[in-house]
Structure 1
Amino acid sequence: MQNSTGIETRGPDVSRSRELPFTLQDIRAAIPPHCFEPSAWRSLSYFFLDIGIIAGLYAIAYQIDALWFWPIFWLAQGTMFWALFVVGHDCGHRSFSKYKWLNDLIGHLSHTPILVPFHGWRISHRTHHANTGNIDTDESWYPPTETQYREMPKDVKFVRYYLTLLAYPIYLFKRSPGRKGSHFLPSSPLFKPSEKWDVITSTVLWGAMIAFLAALTYTNGWLFLVKYYLGPYIVFIVWLDVVTLLHHTVPSIPWYPNDNWYFLKGALSTIDHDYGFINPIHHNIGTHVAHHIFLGMPHYHLLTATEAIKPVLGEYYRKSSDPIWKSLWTALRDCRYVPDHGEKVYYQADAKR
């Protein structure tokens, strides 16, 4: 893993890009123009492929219905739930197609079945991308300062550091520590008044999915729910938390206070990971650096774009050489908080634990 390079000069946002040896325009010019063009048909092919595999796995599980098979099914189906989430992720970034109505339709069809409120998530995720690497304003997996960490209530600390891989459903209702608001309520500080009906639409559809699952449980029993839905859902949540955590939780990646942050510097405070044979299954979501710089790029162009920008970024491009299990262990063990002060700070372990 390459060490990070810090930028410490202060100045207005307009001129700060000069702190880096390249500009956003330099990076964009290195990428083939077709990488910025979404294809509705190609995007739809990934959506229908995922849906087809999910349906096939359900058919197989129904036919086999054996105790030994359920853990295998949960792992496979939960991974496909995660792949479907990534398709909806493109919809949220408007990189699925050029058509807003199609992005919203497929976004809801991808996210509602896996209990993600599409618009609520889309808007908070937009906040994350607009503030990546900013300690004060980032939305997800941002570090607490040491003082905040020491003063953190025990229940909050337990969820964040010991239920890390199951935290996403809680985040939807309560956001992260220090950030108030629910992804389901249009009155949440996450949303603008103009986004009210988008939020309500996704919340109503999320509620309808809950009602559908409740009806299935009432008709077929709790064991049916566990076998066919809850097991895969938990695997999906673990995938979501693992991948999003590892994108931004690495001891060598810098974080910046608001007055020493700007977009491009923050966008470079992320890292690519290699998930091996899982890469094509979850649509190469591990190629995260290029995605953070140009969030409107379809997932199927990220590998090409990444190869194109490496010579421009040089040492500012980061990719972990560690296996995923080791990166995860390091993040959980050594990334607890950042120092209270500094123009550029890094995660530290808690020696007092």
Structure 2
Amino acid sequence: MQVTKTPAFVASRVFAHASYSKAFFQLGHTIAIYGMTIGLMFASLSVHYGVTLLLSLLAAAAYLRLFMIGHDCSHGSYLPHKWQNMLLGNMMGVLTNTPFQYWAGQHAMHHRSTGNLDKRGDGDVITRTVEEYVNSGWFSRLCYRVYRNPWVLFFFSAPLHFVVLQRIPLGEQSKTWGGWLSVMGTNLGILIYYGSMILIFGLKPFLLVYVPVVMLSSLGAVWLFYVQHQFEDAYWERNGVWNYHDATLEGSSFYDLPRWLHWVSGNIGYHHIHHLNPKVPNYHLPTCYDDQPALQNARKLGIVESLSTAWLALWDEKAGKMVSFSSLGAPGRTTQ
């Protein structure tokens, strides 16, 4: 199937262009909100730490938007020219602890292989099939259960990924000079940025301000990318059956959020459109969805339903759906 000739892709193409005015308006007010809120958080330390933590919610929301702007830059969609996206993407990478080119390479592999059971592990949440899990050794099953526990995945693994793992070249990107330069260059930028903040405010105030912001935004980022592909009736197929069109429109959800949460998340909830045509910048996604009926048939997830996806951990190839560990019975079950 030639994806570019499908009605859905043709409908999205109208919006696959960058806008200086929309991009700089979004970028400008997001940076302003982030900068002012961080400043208020430092000031609030002399009042009460509870106030600081409340302000961290707004700072984390702005941080998450900055990460999504960098995400658009990785697709070359945020600004009209490649060099502009590269420059802005690297700047966003320093602000959000994300080596831009390194992450962009991993994320591109995720787009090319999402929903493909034979090409898992590239920039996505590790997912096993029921058969793979049942036939693995007890220690492997234990490690996977721990990894897929929602409390571990979102509250431990998410900040670990952004703060620690992205400081080290790993995976396919570690085999290229570009991957190494991206990681080390970002590390240097972070060292200068965070070092300056510590020199100005001191180490303890810096940690009291930045730790909750990074924790919350990391959790939010991982949750948003998780929930868009890990719902019960998601799309997973083997090489011979898998195709890009179905993987995008059936394997990516439309996260039906209130308008203010679409603002916070940089419209990433319109994930099926984003996967179908990554050249549509986030600021065009709502209008693209509203104006094009061909793009309104994706799997819709509301907030309440989305919470139940946190416990889904295995793909049942026979049933064609995601299932929880509890659906298998006892943890040590080894039935075929």
In structure 1, the residue corresponding to 2:49 is in which secondary structure?
Answer: coil
Within 2, Cα distance between the matches of 1:146 and 1:32?
A: 38
Which residue of 44, 50, 57 corresponds with 2:24? 44
Q: Does 1:163 align with 2:142?
A: no
**Percent of aligned pairs with the same residue?**
19
Pair 216,37 (structure 1): closer, same or farther in 2 beyond 3 Å: closer
Q: Which has the higher helix share?
A: 2
Q: What is the aligned partner in structure 2 of residue 307 from structure 1?
A: 290
Aligned to 1:331: 309
Shift in alpha-carbon separation, 1:157–1:190, aligned structure 2, 3 A: farther
- Report the alpha carbon displacement of residue 223 of structure 1 after superposing the two structures with TM: 2.7
1:165-219 alpha-carbon deviations (Å, 9 max, x no partner)? 13235456998xxxxxx7843x8424674xx235413432224414643565577
In 2, distance between residues paired with 1:32 and 1:146? 38
The code of the aligned residue for 1:87 comes to I
CA distance in 2, matches of 1:349, 1:190: 32
1:92–1:122 Cα contact (<8 Å) kept: yes
Aligned position for 1:349? 324
Alpha-carbon distance between aligned partners in 2 of 1:23 and 1:199, rounded to the nearest angstrom = 34
Q: Which residue in the other structure is 1:8 paired with?
A: none
**Cα shift at 1:63:** 3.0
TM-score by length of 2: 0.83
- Preserved contact between residue 272 and residue 319 of structure 1 (Cα < 8 Å): yes
Matched, 1:148 2:132: yes
State the alpha-carbon separation in 1 of the partners of residues 88 and 42 from structure 2. 27
Q: What one-letter code is carried by the residue in structure 2 that aligns with 1:168?
A: A
RMSD of aligned alpha carbons = 2.8
Which deviations, in whole Å up to 9, do the C-alpha atoms of 1:218-263 show, x marking residues without a partner? 7755431322211100010011011111101111223112221011
2:267 is equivalent to residue 284 of structure 1: yes
Q: Are 1:260 and 2:245 an aligned pair?
A: no
Aligned to 2:29, the other structure's residue is in SS state helix
TM-score by length of 1: 0.80
d(CA) in 2 for partners of 1:325, 1:314: 20
Give the Cα–Cα distance (whole angstroms) in 2 for the partners of residues 221 and 154 of structure 1.
41
How many aligned residue pairs are there? Answer: 316
Taking the TM superposition and a 5 Å limit, the aligned residue runs for 1:1-353 are 16=1, 24-31=5-12, 33=14, 35-65=15-45, 66-138=48-120, 139=122, 140-141=124-125, 143-150=127-134, 151=136, 152-161=140-149, 162-166=151-155, 167-171=157-161, 184-185=168-169, 188-190=171-173, 193=176, 196-197=177-178, 199-210=180-191, 212-213=193-194, 216-217=197-198, 221-268=202-249, 269-276=251-258, 277-310=260-293, 312=294, 315=297, 317-320=298-301, 322=302, 324-328=303-307, 330-333=308-311, 335-339=312-316, 341-342=317-318, 345-351=320-326, 352=329, 353=331
CA change 1:131–1:174 in 2 (3 A) is: farther
- How far the C-alpha of 1:61 sits from its partner, in A, is 2.2
Q: 1:174 to 1:74 in 2, by over 3 A?
A: closer
Runs of 4+ in 1 over 4 A off after TM superposition: 169-175, 214-222
Distance, in Å, in 2 between the alignment partners of 1:47 and 1:77 is 14
Q: CA deviation at 1:327?
A: 1.1
Find the counterpart in structure 2 of residue 178 from structure 1. Answer: none
Shift of 1:94: 0.3
Q: 1:80 and 1:72, CA in 2 relative to 1: closer, same or farther beyond 3 A? A: same
Q: Secondary structure at the match of 2:323?
A: coil
For 1:37, the aligned partner's letter is H
The alpha-carbon distance between structure 1 residues 70 and 326, as it changes in their structure 2 partners (threshold 3 A), is farther
Q: Which amino acid aligns with 1:141?
A: V
Unaligned runs of 5+ in 1: 1-15, 176-181
SS in structure 2 opposite 1:336?
strand
Give how far 1:142 is off: 5.0
Equivalents in 1 of 2:173, 2:223: separation in Å? Answer: 24
Taking structure 1 as reference, are residues 137 and 169 closer, same or farther at Cα in structure 2, changes over 3 Å only? farther
